[in-house]
A and B are shown apart, each in its own frame.
Chain A
Amino acid sequence: METQTQTKKDKIKVSKRIMTGAEAVIHCLLAEEVDLIYGYPGGAIMPVYDELYKFKDQLHHVLTRHEQGATHAAQGYARTSGKVGVAIATSGPGATNFVTGIADAQIDSTPMVCITGQVGSHLLGTDAFQETDIIGISTPITKWNCQVTKAEDIPSVLAKAFYIARSGRPGPVLIDITKDAQFGEFDFDYKKCKGVRSYQPTPDTDPQSLNEAAALINEAKKPMIVFGQGVILGQAEDELKSFIEKSGIPSAWTILGLSALPTSHPLNVGMVGMHGNYGPNKLTNECDVLIAIGMRFDDRVTGNLATYAKQAKVIHFEIDPAEINKNVKADVAVMGSVKKTLPGILPLIQANSHESWLQEFKNFDTIEYDKVIKEELYPSKEGLSMGEVIRRINEETKGDAVIVSDVGQHQMIACRYAEFTKTKSNVTSGGLGTMGFALPAAIGAKMGAPEREVVAIIGDGGYQMTIQELGTIFQTKVPVKIVVLNNDFLGMVRQWQQLFFDKRYASTEMVNPDFVTIAKGYHIDAKRVTKREDLQGAIKEMIASEEPYFLEVCVEKENNVFPMIPTGASVSDIRLS
């Protein structure tokens, strides 16, 4: 089936003809079914922009206010649409401004193709105006990159770029095109890339590994699943659900696995990791079989590796061979896409339920609720909490919204408390922890899923790192809802200073501008809430709005996020206060 569909798509609409490299770039993008790109023009990419002008009916270009914004918007678009995000910029500073977004996409496995202009090939290495070695700079943070110096190489290189970005474990690809290659004329012909001989996107699954994994699962008394973004990238949400329901295994998620399983699912036991839930962290060190599905045992998930799940047999379902035994030794590695390996193991496992084991998670939930969650969601103090804002958003969106979060305390609160009914609903910067991610990512997220409500939850620190993207929102009228949880602090750093640096609040207090006035300057409806009685109404108004909307909520200044696993501690040493 798959090959047949592919063959149809291979037939592109353009008949063979002579064209410039710049025009070829557009035809390549159209052939890859790209209809939306994010970018910023400049000298070395002007020939491509000139063609974009001619093709604006077929290929929509969104002008961000900074190239970093273009990469994050492309990431947001990729995360909600499941398609490859595309960003384009000029050479030199345009290209270097891409770096943070590319690094973010690399560590979070986001499919993205970045196109940069480059000085003419005769000028390469002469320190020409706006020349920078973006291939050298981007090498460690791209899945693949390539410089094109001849127009005729553009189709094959871009075809390869899209294939590599989206196949296997996805990731960012950067293509650097010299100005003379954009001007050069050649006989255009486009063939979709079907494979690269040195690259096997999805490793073969050893049937024996499925048998061994099934045997461990069938014998397990206290099994636990931790799933990650691999499930979402592999579009294996249904397969995961079938596996969980048949095996009856309590299932926890990493921050990027969030929303692959509905929040309300009876076997969803919450988040693992530094600010994850009490039960799954504690019980990681009590389970007898740990089943990792499409996740990579990040240090924020495992805490101290020397004391991580040492009692458990580990089964690792994974598409990237380099992840096996990288951080945690796998007793059984099931290689391949979870889209195929999960259905593969399903007939081999016995239907089961683990009631008393599941009850252990619930017991920890009760403790966590009493000591942490209750006060966060229903605060007894006067000051507003971040958690109650998320609770109100849950009530208004019924868990159907896409939540885009930035990085810091509000991100942990959003991921802990936001409720989800649908997959691809949690867009956040996980591995890189990029402050400034959320505002531009929300633009892309909304364009990638226009029918869905998109709410960005951002701290006052991260918001000001990419605040200029309000201009993009104003210009495109993209109806994203922006919530800034303002505590006038870089809250997460302040929390660490309080707990580990004797309250020496070095450079974490923010003297903030009037955010509402700034939003209004961009002609965006805006409101500020400082009192509890105004919160629900404001969130109702925001969600009801069909236009972009900005809501600032002034929250308690020195609240902390708990539970917490201090750096270097064991997952079972998770603190509730």
Chain B
Amino acid sequence: MEKESYTISVYTENNIGLLNRISAIFLKRHINLDSMTASVSEIKDVFRFTIVVKITEEQVKKLVGQIEKQIEVIRAFYHTDDETIYQETALFKVNSKLLFEERQIQNVIKESNANIVTVTPEFFVLEKTGRRNEVEALYDALEPFGLMQFVRSGRIAVTKDKMHISKILETFKEEII
């Protein structure tokens, strides 16, 4: 089976040790994460981990099984890139004097659809949100001028299909804690 990029979405209780518990499942199998993002979800008090891995479908199925087995994981799903809408965000910190000394950089910024977040006499910060290749294209364009700092977030993704998680949560009985 061929390796493919999968987005694993994990809905969980808000628990202090859960990040460790989930990452241990990958560690045990010697699987490297491309990225992992934790945030709140559309449901009150329910957290959502978005994990990207490049593995086979058989592997991702087993991983999702092991993740769902954890007590405080409500549900976990996996999706291919085609089944999701996904984005990453990157911040580029650039020396302000380049704006005046290197005319070309202004064109790069215009063409990239990046936003200028802040400008100071010393530096300015660009924010670029998009697919990995778009962020990388901007990186490649700016890198020759010199970057003071660069950082990129993990992937966040929503699925094209409905997530049945709300329905699952509704079926939980009220007396259950």
Binding site for B on A (CB under 8 A): 135-136, 139-140, 143-147, 156, 160, 164, 193-199, 320-322, 324-326
Contacts and interface: CB of A to CB of B under 8 A. Distances in A.
B15 to A, nearest CB: 8
A423 to B, nearest CB: 27
Contact of B176 (A143, A147, A195): A195
Contact of B24 (A139, A146, A198): A139
Interface string B6-26: 000000110011001100100
A505 B20 CA distance: 41
B66 A322 contact: yes
Contacts of B13: 198
A111 to B, nearest CB: 14
Interface in B43-90: 61-62, 65-66, 68-69, 71-74
B101 to A, nearest CB: 47
Contacts of B74: 197-198
Contacts of B176: 194-197
B100 interface: no
B68 A194 contact: no
Given A140-B28, A326-B62, A135 B71 contact: no
A140 B65 CA distance: 15
Contact of B61 (A136, A143, A195, A325): A325
A322 B65 contact: yes
Interface in B162-177: 169, 172-173, 175-177
A164 B71 contact: yes
Given A139-B17, A198-B12, A326 B65 contact: yes
Contact of B177 (A136, A146, A147, A196): A196
B146 to A, nearest CB: 39
B69 A320 contact: yes
Nearest to A201: B71
B34 to A, nearest CB: 22
B177 A197 contact: yes
Contacts of A320: 69
A321 B69 contact: yes
Contacts of B175: 194-195
A198 B28 contact: no
Contacts of A193: 177
Contacts of B69: 320-322
Contacts of A140: 21, 24, 27-28
Given A196-B177, A326-B62, A321 B24 contact: no
Nearest to B17: A135
B68 A322 contact: yes
A139 B65 contact: no
Contacts of A195: 173, 175-177
